[in-house]
């Protein structure tokens, strides 16, 4: 079972390192100084209570890399199509692909490009590149959800079991995607707008957070017939429990002057308060 993890940032780096630690046949695809350090020294994971390192086969993504049975896309949502195009020659009919990029329509985007087996999925994790070669994971938050074609789901579940990574395969994967999206969309938008961590958003901008979460739930109901109103309070409680200084990848990208996932995380939700924040952030993007 040959696995590719495309993107070695906070999500992909943690997954690839966990697969390598479990002895799975995994190749990680990254770029820049981060990739160079991993190639030479392996990848290091810094968690709250432990730091560990593992050797990882890592390289730049090119068009010919042999055949992969599973490809996990852990790139930014705006890079998904380009990443797929580059690795598409390494897929066969029975290959399984899944995107852990932010957003609720990544599976649909992949299905429009390929005939291989596409699963839908999402991941809960607070992690980022601390410095080249090092992934910093904050708190105990970690879970993956994925689903779709039954056999492919079972195969991927076995991989996560072997790597001792928590996962769920819900019957309604679309609903599960929205349950993740409601939190990350709201708090990515608010942490970027206010330039403050999640803990400060909960403490100082609670009403705005509740209002934005409610709008996202309304949008999901109106456009997908998915019931998310119970998730509003759950999302607020999650924000209360995560480490106070936890940020979001979009806020970090704004801070560092990088391209952001503003369109998929904020622009996708056509509601008044969200659009107000989106329009303000778009001027900075």
End-to-end CA distance of the chain: 40
Domain 175-282 is found in CATH 1.10.1040.10:
yes
Work out the pLDDT band at 68, boundaries 50, 70, 90: very high
Flag whether pLDDT at 64 surpasses 80. Answer: no
- Summarised one tens digit per residue, pLDDT across range 94-109 is 999 999 999 999 999 9
Which regions of the chain carry the CATH code 1.10.1040.10? 175-282
Which regions of the chain carry the CATH code 3.40.50.720? 2-169
Looking at residue 243, its pLDDT comes to 87
Residue with tokens 């932010």: 102
- Summarised one tens digit per residue, pLDDT across range 190-236 is 999 999 999 999 999 999 999 999 999 999 999 999 999 999 999 99
What is 2-169's CATH topology?
Answer: Rossmann fold (3.40.50)
C-beta atoms surrounding 100 within 10 Å: 22
DSSP conformation class of 268? T
Flag whether pLDDT at 41 surpasses 90. Answer: yes
Inter-residue contact 236 to 206 (CB < 8 Å) = yes
61 three-class SS? coil
Looking at residue 48, its pLDDT comes to 87
**122 vs 124: CA distance, rounded Å:** 7
Report which of 115, 223, 117, 224 is spatially closest to residue 174, judged by C-alpha positions. Answer: 224
Burial pattern 188-216, b for ≥16 Cβ within 10 A else e, equals bbbbbbeebbbbebbeebeebbebbbbbb
Please state the rounded mean pLDDT for residues 73-98. Answer: 96
């Amino acid at each position: 079972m040959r696995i590719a993890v495309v993107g070695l940032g906070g999500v992909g780096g943690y997954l690839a390192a966990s697969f390598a630690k479990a002895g799975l046949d995994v190749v990680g695809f990254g770029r820049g100084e981060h990739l160079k350090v991993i190639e030479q020294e392996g990848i290091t994971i810094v968690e709250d209570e432990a730091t560990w390192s593992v050797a990882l086969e890592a390289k730049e993504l090119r068009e010919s890399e042999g055949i992969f049975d599973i490809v996990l896309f852990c790139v930014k949502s705006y890079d998904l199509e380009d990443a797929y195009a580059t690795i598409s020659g390494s897929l066969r009919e029975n290959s399984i692909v899944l995107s852990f990029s932010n957003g609720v329509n990544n599976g649909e985007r992949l299905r429009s490009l390929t005939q291989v087996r596409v699963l839908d999925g999402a991941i809960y994790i607070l992690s980022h590149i601390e410095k080249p070669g090092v992934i910093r994971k904050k708190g105990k938050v970690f879970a993956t959800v994925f689903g779709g074609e039954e056999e492919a789901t079972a195969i991927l579940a076995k991989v996560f079991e072997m790597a001792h990574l928590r996962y769920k395969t819900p019957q309604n994967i679309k609903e599960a995607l929205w349950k993740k999206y409601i939190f990350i969309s709201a708090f990515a938008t608010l942490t970027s707008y206010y330039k403050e961590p999640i803990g400060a958003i909960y403490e100082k901008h609670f009403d705005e957070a509740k209002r934005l979460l409610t709008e996202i739930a309304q949008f999901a109901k109106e456009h997908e017939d998915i019931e998310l109103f119970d998730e509003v309070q759950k999302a607020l409680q999650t924000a209360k429990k995560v480490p106070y200084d936890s940020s979001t990848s979009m806020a970090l990208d704004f801070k560092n002057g990088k391209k952001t996932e503003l369109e998929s995380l904020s622009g996708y939700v056509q509601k008044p308060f969200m659009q107000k924040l989106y329009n303000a952030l778009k001027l900075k993007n």
